[in-house]
Amino acid sequence: MRRYFGRKLLVYALTFVVAVTVNWMIPRFMPGDPVAGMVARAGVSQPAAAEAMRAYYTNLFGLDRPLWQQYASFWGTLLRGDFGISIWLFPTPVSTVILRAVPYTLALMVPAVLLSWVAGNRLGAFAARRRLLDNTVLPLGYVLTATPYMWLAVILAWGLGVVAGWFPVAGGYSFSLQPSLTAGFLLDLLHHWVLPFLSLFLVALGGWAIGMRNMIIYELESDYASYLAALGAPARLIRRYAFRNALLPQITGLALQLGVLVAGALVTEIVFSYPGLGSLILKAIQNQDFFLLQGTFMFIVIGVLVANFVIDLVYVVVDPRTRAGMAGARG
């Protein structure tokens, strides 16, 4: 058991190191001079002031030192939780900007991913049982999974937002309101949350439903199902076993899909101008805010790694075969 997790953790640690390194490399080895760009955009006309600014940024990046020192100090600041100062929202620290955006992304992602997974599995299991349902769920599921996030989001925004006017199509809350813990503000938050959530939920739903349906049909044809049926076990028991066993690959699927889901959430945020990490990335790119971009990427990488690790843990708990495999690795 310990060895299994040791191996897993090692893989995650390596992934993290690679991600940090790539993140460090991007602004340094990108074509163009980010410092010159920033100074130019700041529109400072006096040469002396421009020179001071250039010196400041160069110092910030540590561009005047040898590369290995830059790399080492990048890790140093990172481990202290220091992502630098945002250029776009100067002088707010990047970590503050990110922490303001994270709740929005989480509030969108977590329910959309979990609910679509749960609902999709239920729906798929039902479809595997009833022909009528199967004939509707299956094509609908294929349409939903084949739809790009962008499209579905735009269609929903247009249909339910612009035409029907039921939901606002942009922002995390109304501009007229100040964030506060009042019922009015929370309702407004919820109101803005519905459309981006729905678009994420719907797109993911179809894939889970199809996966579950196919897995259940496969499980129902397995040997243990035939054996139980030959001993006269009721269909209820056989379906319960099949459902549980079919869930296992779906959990693996969740781990594999996590990256895609995160990317989908980022795009959705941009479409709906939802103030989460996705919008932050867009703003950072538009404003050439490298610190913010780096910080956001780091945060997403850490988030995906943590989520993957949680799924690993869950899998070990629910599938005895992985535990048996671990015992084998130990002996």
Partner 1 sequence: MSLTVTDLRVSYQTLRGEVRALDGVSFTVADGEILGLAGESGCGKTTLGKSLIRLDGRMRHAGGTVELDGRELPIGDDRAMNAFRFREVSLVPQYSMSALNPTRRIGRMVAELLRSRGETLDRAKLETRLGQVGLPREVLDRYPIELSGGMKQRVVMVVSTLLDPSLLIADEITSALDVSTQQAVARALAGFRDAGHVRSMVFITHDLALTARIADTIMVMYAGMLAEKAPAKTMVEQPRHPYTRMLVDALPEVGARHAGRRLTGIAGSPPALLDPPPGCRFRERCPLADDGCAERPPVTEVAPGHHVACWKV
The footprint of partner 1 (CB under 8 A) covers: 222-224, 226-234, 236-237, 241, 244-245, 248, 318-321, 324
Q: Assess contact for 300 and 262: CB atoms under 8 A.
A: yes
DSSP 178: P
Q: How far is CA 163 from the centre of its chain?
A: 30
Length of the chain: 331
Cβ nearer to partner 1, comparing 188 with 319: 319
Q: Assess contact for 137 and 124: CB atoms under 8 A.
A: yes
Least separation in angstroms between residue 323's CB and partner 1 is 8
For residue 241 the two structure tokens come to 């076993």
Cβ nearer to partner 1, comparing 48 with 231: 231
- Tell me, what amino acid is at 14? L
Least separation in angstroms between residue 70's CB and partner 1 is 51
Between CA 331 and CA 324 the distance in angstroms is: 11
Cβ nearer to partner 1, comparing 52 with 324: 324
Which residue matches tokens 């100040």?
Answer: 178
Cβ nearer to partner 1, comparing 219 with 289: 219
Q: Containing H/E element for 59?
A: helix 47-61
Least separation in angstroms between residue 239's CB and partner 1 is 11
Q: Indicate the burial class of 173 (C-beta count within 10 angstroms; 0-12, 13-18, 19 or more).
A: buried
- Please tell me whether residue 30 adopts helix, strand or coil conformation: coil
Between CA 94 and CA 13 the distance in angstroms is: 23
Least separation in angstroms between residue 135's CB and partner 1 is 19
Cβ nearer to partner 1, comparing 202 with 248: 248
Least separation in angstroms between residue 212's CB and partner 1 is 16
Please measure the distance between the N-terminal and C-terminal CA atoms of the chain and give it in whole angstroms: 11
Which residue matches tokens 């989520």?
Answer: 307
Least separation in angstroms between residue 312's CB and partner 1 is 17
Cβ nearer to partner 1, comparing 269 with 312: 312
Cβ nearer to partner 1, comparing 174 with 226: 226
What is the helix, strand, coil percentage profile of the chain, to 5? 80, 0, 20
Least separation in angstroms between residue 218's CB and partner 1 is 13
